[in-house]
Amino acid sequence: MGLAEITGFVLVGEMLMLGVATTVVVGRTGLMRAREQFRDRLFEVYPHIGLLLGVLVVNKVAREFGPELSWVIGWNITSRIYAIEGNFVGTVQSVARPELTTYFSFMYIYGYVFILVFPFVAYFALVDSKPLKKAAVAFAVNYGLGLVCYILFISYGPRNLIPDVVHPLLYSTYPESQILTGQVNANTNVFPSLHTSLSVSSALLAYQIRDSYPRWTVIAIPMAASIIVATMYLGIHWATDVCAGSVLGVGSVLIANRYVSDDSRE
């Protein structure tokens, strides 16, 4: 199975998930409101969405030469991380079962994309534009600071450093997934975990609008937790990566809250 086929398969799955979630969370009233305010909402949020798109473009370009630059100016912290936590990820994998591997693999790929995309669909339909602005800014900060960290810090994941203890459960169970993840990740850029940081940010943003979308809050928080555990269970990230990602995720939301709050007062 090639990249195009895998990407198409994932897109179909995401469209189904987004369709169901939009029906359950946003509802008919929200969709009608989104249609009515479409142009006004785009005008309100285009600077924030533009910021996110700009960061994503820079991120994409930088990833082409980032690993080489990292070896020139970066600091290899792999051994230090291992000295701190040892075989903790191996302990997490000690509970591995086929059912858990299937669940966490699904969350790592499908759940992760969903928890990043759905907020932009749902928040667009809200009366208040601030949640959508906050999501765009928080994600931009995550990607921007994450890229800086990937260049400054070289870190191999546990499956690469201690393969006799930690197994690559995602790739050994679903080898075709490596074709997809290889397009956006390198073996040396696991610190911090962007899966963790973006999931944490998404969950916090969902909690902030719990009065508007209580169902989304109930979905987002457990899903974010599952994605975070999946990064370690599948042998991709260290617990240290997860802790750093959590700090980045919280910090990104705090920055977004401050930025959007200041922006709204102008």
Q: For residues 116 and 107, what is the distance between their CA atoms, to the nearest angstrom?
A: 12
Q: What is the pLDDT of residue 65?
A: 75
Quote the DSSP letter at residue 191: S
Residue 130 near residue 48 (C-beta atoms within 8 A): no
Q: In which element (H, E) is residue 203 found? A: helix 194-208
Specify burial of residue 115 (Cβ count, 10 A radius: 0-12, 13-18, 19+).
Answer: buried
The structure tokens listed for 114 are 């969903």
Q: For residues 81 and 191, what is the distance between their CA atoms, to the nearest angstrom?
A: 10
Q: What is the pLDDT of residue 13?
A: 86
pLDDT tens, position by position, for the chain (266 residues)?
A: 566 777 777 888 889 999 999 999 999 999 999 898 988 899 999 999 999 999 999 988 887 777 777 777 878 999 999 999 999 999 999 999 999 999 999 999 999 999 999 999 999 999 999 999 999 999 999 999 999 998 899 998 999 899 889 998 888 887 777 666 665 666 667 899 999 999 999 999 999 999 999 999 999 999 999 999 999 999 999 999 999 999 999 999 999 999 897 665 54
Going by C-beta distance under 8 Å and a sequence separation of 6 or more, which residues neighbour residue 180? 3, 6, 7, 10, 109
Q: What is the pLDDT of residue 9?
A: 76
